[in-house]
């Protein structure tokens, strides 16, 4: 218990220090220095600086992308995939990001086929749009939609009827997309294997039967946690791994 | 409301019209390509067996009766026809299926087909099928009852990677349902089903049986002696023996659920030998079976700078995935570009078969006569129990004088493809793309999800604004209506009160009458004549008698005004009040 309190205290201290450091030096300078470190091959330093920026509250897809690249250069494939996935939440259509993520995924040893759900097939555009993009699209349409309805209280012209029909259909599609994307983000239970090789056991105990092994960078789904163990899920497979061998993708985004 | 209903009706009509047009288009689109497929099940049978034959004519739903060649040695029984239309992913296909049963008159190997049909003056032909008719089976064992499972292996001795056929036959004289199968596979012996199950009738031990046959290909991976455990079939049986249901002696009618039954085949033994070391070619790829190779060069005469395509095709039965990629030896003064090999895999009654097609584009750099050497392929033939090396014939390529266009020579690897073949980009290295160093992109924070205030302003406030306006308007309308009603209710009372004053003149009374009508009926009349008042009252449903009385009263007042006697006349208002009360009552 004491250890946990101490750990929290140091985390808080580090957070405060990072915010203070960024405020003092200016985030632009930190970013510039981090990029310089990267280009000169000082990847550890670059990673620390990029992480400082994120801890200071900066939230931007390019930052996650840069950290992911740095992790990749450091040979931390799992962490690289984790940050690429985080970057995808914010800029899902970025070509460089998608190319690097595909390349990093290609390096993963395990071939895990995540079957597409019906909604993903029906709303195929969801993967290329971020939640905030969908929100703004829906927000604008929502204003137009209710404005037309409001107008129709006073005057029921024919053109406003047809316009209402068209806007209603688009409003429905975009609204459903926004809802699904929001749901997808809220229920995203994906996690990345962090260690080079992880034993997946039949139960939350190191004496339990070894079911199969997973390798760094594989993306799995987290069902629940018990003590120091996590129950993970793959298509047609389940098993327990130690908590420190996986990292939840969504958990690495700064709290809003 | 009526306008909306009319519009909805219009939209509905349009949708119905579209659907109708869609349905009408189906037969037209479905008749686009006609093709015939002849299918036999099984392809090997005894002379006592009944063979099912299906002819499928795709691309149409109506054809004249087809003619099938090669049926002279068979008794043919027509089993009817069925047609169907399929819509899959927006693709419409229609077909008609003709069913036949055949009984052979003699033993031997027969080529059946092609089937022919003439549609709109055009003749269409099907594929042909080979049917082996063998002598009848004579079981040495005892009579096996009404239901038994028979397993058979094409050979009890085989080489590693040799293809064997495992045949399972369910013989039955009773009705069965929900048949499931458990195969005795292991790591070294894997079963691969060959085609669909066949169902036919046969004579076994002098008794008629309905047979369900299924064939599997087995390719042993390691030497040794393997005991193939019995295959097991689980099913529900409907045996009517010992029961009597009169004319309804059929499981279909008695609604019985049947009895579960598990039956097993006999165990088998398989001896798998290693491939012999003696005579093994140096480049042997592990190919086992029977194969043929052939090569072709098109065109065989070209001009300098043009390209010719060398095609090598290996076909046969066996473990076709082991057909190696043949290495084309370099020829001086000829540039060689290899195409991606194409492997085709299918099954027939002899097991797994297939072909591998390899193509090279040959681009000579100078004129002359070039010799394309033989290309070789080695495989182990289990029938002959030795390694076989097969070769293509050497080919000649004649190159005439022409203009060399340096590296821009069009390479045509596919004979059907007339467009120039572009070279695929070769990946020489792999790495991630660089980081972002520009501050521009990082300048603005991008929220992951909308925050509370954003949701309130853009999503909830428009709804609230709309609902607020809607209810406000409704409230206003309601208030107007209520005020009007109140006024109408009080109109007679106000009129009576006003008329109760002393010394009222005609002009005052006409004004009071006008106000009464305005209040009572929600009107906005500026002046009122007796005739107008009577007409309004009649229109609003007041009885003619009452409206006439009111008219008479007003007429008297008008006369007093227009004759200038208004100042001298004093009216008694009791009658007028009574009439107004009457009007009020009738209006209610």
- The answer to whether the Cβ–Cβ distance between A90 and B446 falls below 8 Å is yes
Distance from the B453 Cα atom to the nearest Cα atom in chain A, whole angstroms: 12
Distance from the B435 Cα atom to the nearest Cα atom in chain A, whole angstroms: 5
Do residues A9 and A99 both lie within one domain?
yes
- Is residue B482 a contact partner of residue B516, using CB atoms and an 8 Å limit? no
- The answer to whether the Cβ–Cβ distance between A182 and B449 falls below 8 Å is yes
Do residues A197 and A180 both lie within one domain?
no
Domain extent at residue B317: 289-400
Whether residue A73 lies inside any domain: the answer is yes
> Tens digits of per-residue pLDDT, B558-571?
888 888 776 766 67
Do residues B559 and B481 both lie within one domain?
yes
Whether residue A245 lies inside any domain: the answer is yes
Whether residue B427 lies inside any domain: the answer is no
- The answer to whether the Cβ–Cβ distance between B449 and A72 falls below 8 Å is no
pLDDT, residue A189, reads 92
Whether residue B411 lies inside any domain: the answer is no
Which of A154, A186, A218 represents a domain boundary (last residue)? A186
Do residues B163 and B124 both lie within one domain?
no
pLDDT, residue B242, reads 44
**Chains A and B: how many Cβ contacts under 8 Å?**
95
Do residues A224 and A144 both lie within one domain?
no
Do residues A9 and A46 both lie within one domain?
yes
Of A61, A69, A182, the CB nearest to B435: A69
Residues of chain A with pLDDT under 70: 1-25, 252-256
Percent of chain B with pLDDT over 70: 83
Number of domains comprising chain A: 3
Torsion (CA) B250, B255, B260, B265 in degrees, nearest 10: 30
Task: Indicate if ipTM > 0.95.
Answer: no
- The answer to whether the Cβ–Cβ distance between B432 and A60 falls below 8 Å is no
Do residues A60 and A7 both lie within one domain?
yes
Whether residue A217 lies inside any domain: the answer is yes
Question: Closest Cα to residue A229, out of A237, A214, A213, A240?
Answer: A240
Do residues B266 and B293 both lie within one domain?
no
Q: What is the CATH number of the domain that holds B203?
A: 2.60.40.740
Which of B400, B415, B438 represents a domain boundary (last residue)? B400
Query: Looking at the complex, does the CB of residue A90 fall below 8 Å from at least one CB of chain B?
Result: yes
Do residues B76 and B50 both lie within one domain?
yes
Do residues B80 and B153 both lie within one domain?
no
Structure tokens belonging to residue B578:
């009574």
Query: Looking at the complex, does the CB of residue A165 fall below 8 Å from at least one CB of chain B?
Result: no
Of B7, B432, B436, the CB nearest to A72: B432
Do residues B161 and B69 both lie within one domain?
no
Judging contacts by C-beta atoms under 8 Å, the chain B residues touching residue A143 are: 458, 462
Domain extent at residue A223: 190-252
Judging contacts by C-beta atoms under 8 Å, the chain A residues touching residue B430 are: 103
Most confident among A212-216, B79-83, B325-329 (mean pLDDT): A212-216
Mean pLDDT of B343-356: 82
- The answer to whether the Cβ–Cβ distance between B473 and A96 falls below 8 Å is no
Q: Report CA B171 to chain centroid distance, whole Å.
A: 36
Query: Looking at the complex, does the CB of residue B433 fall below 8 Å from at least one CB of chain A?
Result: yes
Do residues A128 and A69 both lie within one domain?
no
Structure tokens belonging to residue B505:
């003149």
Please determine, for residue B248, whether its predicted confidence score (pLDDT) is greater than 70: no
Question: Closest Cα to residue B455, out of A256, A252, A89, A163?
Answer: A256
Do residues A29 and A94 both lie within one domain?
yes
Pairwise CA distance, residues A50 & B272, whole Å? 63
- Is residue B34 a contact partner of residue B96, using CB atoms and an 8 Å limit? no
B254: left (phi over 0), alpha (psi -120 to 50) or beta: alpha
Whether residue B452 lies inside any domain: the answer is no
Whether residue B106 lies inside any domain: the answer is yes
Query: Looking at the complex, does the CB of residue B445 fall below 8 Å from at least one CB of chain A?
Result: yes
Whether residue A112 lies inside any domain: the answer is no
Whether residue B377 lies inside any domain: the answer is yes
> Residue B519: how many CA atoms within 13 Å on its side-chain side?
18
pLDDT, residue B403, reads 53
Do residues B176 and B256 both lie within one domain?
yes
pLDDT, residue B16, reads 47
Peptide bond before residue A38 is cis, with ω within 30 degrees of 0:
no
Residues sharing a CB contact under 8 Å with residue A235, sequence separation 6 or more, in sequence order: A112, A113, A114, A115
Whether residue A201 lies inside any domain: the answer is yes
Do residues A89 and A7 both lie within one domain?
yes
Do residues A71 and A129 both lie within one domain?
no
pLDDT, residue B483, reads 82
Of A132, A139, A149, the CB nearest to B446: A132
Structure tokens belonging to residue A237:
């497979």
Which of B343, B377, B400 represents a domain boundary (last residue)? B400
- Is residue B321 a contact partner of residue B192, using CB atoms and an 8 Å limit? no
Do residues B266 and B153 both lie within one domain?
yes
C-alpha distance across the termini of chain B, in Å: 29
Of B449, B462, B473, the CB nearest to A153: B473
Question: Closest Cα to residue B53, out of B199, B215, B216, B170?
Answer: B199
Mean pLDDT of B451-464: 88
Judging contacts by C-beta atoms under 8 Å, the chain A residues touching residue B433 are: 96, 99-100
- Is residue B410 a contact partner of residue B308, using CB atoms and an 8 Å limit? no
Pairwise CA distance, residues A29 & B149, whole Å? 81
> Tens digits of per-residue pLDDT, B140-190?
444 467 888 888 888 888 888 888 888 888 888 888 888 888 888 666 677
Whether residue A113 lies inside any domain: the answer is no
Residue found under tokens 């799992």: A78
Q: Which residues on neighbouring strands pair with residue B125, listed in sequence order?
A: B116
Which of B134, B156, B174 represents a domain boundary (last residue)? B134
pLDDT, residue A1, reads 46
Query: Measured over all CA atoms, what is the biggest interatomic distance in chain A, rounded to whole angstroms?
Result: 75
CA pseudo-torsion sign A245, A249, A251, A255: positive
**What are the φ/ψ torsions at residue A14 (nearest 5 degrees)?**
-65, -40
Do residues B154 and B269 both lie within one domain?
yes
Determine the 3-state secondary structure of B118 from DSSP.
strand
Distance from the A170 Cα atom to the nearest Cα atom in chain B, whole angstroms: 15
Query: Looking at the complex, does the CB of residue A31 fall below 8 Å from at least one CB of chain B?
Result: yes
Do residues B161 and B129 both lie within one domain?
no
Q: Which residue has the higher pLDDT, A136 or B371?
A: A136
């Amino acid at each position: 218990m004491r250890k946990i309190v101490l750990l929290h205290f140091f985390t808080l201290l580090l957070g405060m220090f990072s915010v203070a450091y960024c405020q003092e030096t200016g985030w632009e300078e930190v970013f510039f220095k981090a990029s310089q470190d990267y280009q000169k091959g000082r990847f550890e330093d670059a990673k620390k600086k990029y992480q400082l920026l994120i801890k200071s509250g900066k939230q931007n897809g390019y930052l996650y992308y840069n950290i992911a690249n740095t992790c990749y250069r450091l040979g931390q494939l799992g962490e690289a995939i984790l940050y690429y996935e985080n970057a995808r939440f914010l800029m899902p259509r970025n070509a460089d990001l998608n190319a690097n993520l595909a390349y990093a995924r290609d390096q993963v040893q395990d071939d895990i086929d995540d079957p597409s759900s019906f909604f993903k097939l029906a709303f195929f555009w969801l993967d290329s749009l971020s939640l905030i993009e969908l929100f703004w699209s829906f927000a604008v349409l929502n204003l137009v939609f209710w404005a037309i309805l409001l107008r129709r209280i006073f005057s029921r012209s024919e053109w406003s009827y047809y316009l209402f029909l068209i806007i209603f259909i688009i409003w429905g599609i975009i609204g459903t997309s926004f809802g699904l994307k929001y749901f997808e983000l809220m229920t995203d239970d994906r996690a990345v294997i962090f260690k080079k090789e992880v034993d997946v056991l039949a139960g939350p105990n190191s004496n339990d039967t070894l079911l199969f092994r997973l390798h760094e960078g594989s993306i799995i789904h987290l069902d629940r946690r018990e003590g120091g163990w996590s129950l993970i899920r793959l298509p047609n497979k389940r098993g327990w791994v130690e908590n420190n061998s996986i990292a939840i993708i969504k958990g690495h985004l700064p709290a809003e | 409301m009526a306008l909306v209903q009319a519009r909805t009706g219009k939209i509905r009509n349009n949708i119905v019209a579209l659907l109708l047009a869609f349905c009408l288009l189906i037969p037209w689109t479905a008749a686009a390509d006609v093709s015939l497929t002849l299918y036999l099940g099984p392809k090997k049978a005894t002379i006592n067996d009944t063979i099912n034959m299906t002819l499928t004519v795709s691309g149409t739903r109506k054809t004249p009766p087809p003619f099938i060649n090669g049926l002279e040695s068979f008794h043919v029984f027509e089993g009817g026809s069925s047609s169907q239309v399929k819509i899959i992913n927006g693709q419409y296909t229609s077909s008609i299926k003709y069913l036949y049963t055949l009984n052979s008159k003699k033993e031997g190997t027969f080529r059946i087909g092609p089937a022919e049909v003439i549609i709109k003056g055009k003749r269409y032909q099907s594929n042909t099928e080979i049917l082996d008719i063998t002598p009848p089976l004579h079981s040495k064992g005892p009579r096996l009852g009404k239901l038994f499972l028979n397993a058979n292996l094409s050979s009890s001795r085989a080489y590693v990677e040799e293809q064997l056929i495992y045949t399972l036959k369910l013989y039955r004289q009773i009705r069965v349902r929900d048949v499931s199968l458990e195969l005795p596979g292991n790591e070294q012996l894997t079963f691969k089903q060959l085609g669909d199950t066949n169902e036919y009738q046969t004579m076994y031990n002098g008794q008629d049986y309905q047979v369900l046959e299924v064939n599997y290909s087995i390719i042993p991976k390691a030497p040794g002696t393997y005991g193939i455990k019995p295959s097991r079939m689980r099913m529900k049986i409907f045996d009517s023996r010992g029961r009597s249901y009169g004319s309804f002696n059929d499981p279909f009618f008695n609604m019985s659920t049947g009895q579960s039954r598990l039956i097993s085949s006999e165990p088998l033994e398989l001896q798998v030998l290693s491939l012999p070391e003696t005579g093994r070619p140096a480049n042997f790829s592990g190919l086992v079976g029977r194969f043929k190779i052939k090569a072709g060069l098109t065109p065989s005469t070209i001009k300098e700078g043009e390209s010719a395509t060398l095609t090598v095709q290996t076909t046969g039965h066996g473990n076709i995935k082991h057909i190696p990629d043949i290495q084309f030896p370099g020829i001086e003064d000829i540039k060689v570009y290899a195409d991606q090999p194409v492997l085709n895999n299918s099954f027939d009654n002899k097991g797994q078969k297939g072909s591998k097609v390899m193509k090279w584009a040959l681009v000579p750099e100078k004129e002359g006569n070039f010799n394309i050497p033989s290309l070789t392929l080695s495989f182990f033939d289990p029938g002959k129990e030795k390694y076989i090396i097969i070769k293509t014939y050497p080919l000649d390529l004649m190159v005439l004088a022409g203009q060399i266009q340096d590296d821009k020579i069009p390479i045509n690897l596919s004979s059907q493809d007339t467009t120039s073949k572009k070279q695929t980009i070769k990946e020489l290295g792999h790495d991630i793309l660089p980081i972002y160093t520009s501050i521009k992109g990082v300048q603005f924070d991008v929220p992951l999800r909308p925050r509370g205030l954003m949701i309130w302003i853009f999503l909830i406030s428009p709804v609230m604004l709309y609902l607020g306006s809607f209810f406000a308007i409704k409230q206003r309308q309601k208030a107007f209506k209520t005020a009007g009603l109140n006024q109408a209710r009080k109109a007679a009372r106000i009129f009576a009160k006003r008329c109760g004053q002393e010394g009222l003149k005609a002009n005052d009374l006409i004004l009071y009458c006008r106000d009464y009508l305005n209040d009572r009926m929600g009107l906005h009349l500026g002046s009122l004549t007796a005739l107008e008042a009577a007409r309004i009252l009649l229109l609003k449903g007041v009885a003619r008698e009452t409206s006439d009385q009111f008219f008479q009263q007003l007429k008297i007042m008008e006369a007093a005004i227009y004759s200038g006697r208004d100042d001298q006349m004093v009216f008694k208002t009791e009658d007028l009040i009574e009439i107004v009360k009457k009007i009020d009552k009738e209006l209610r």
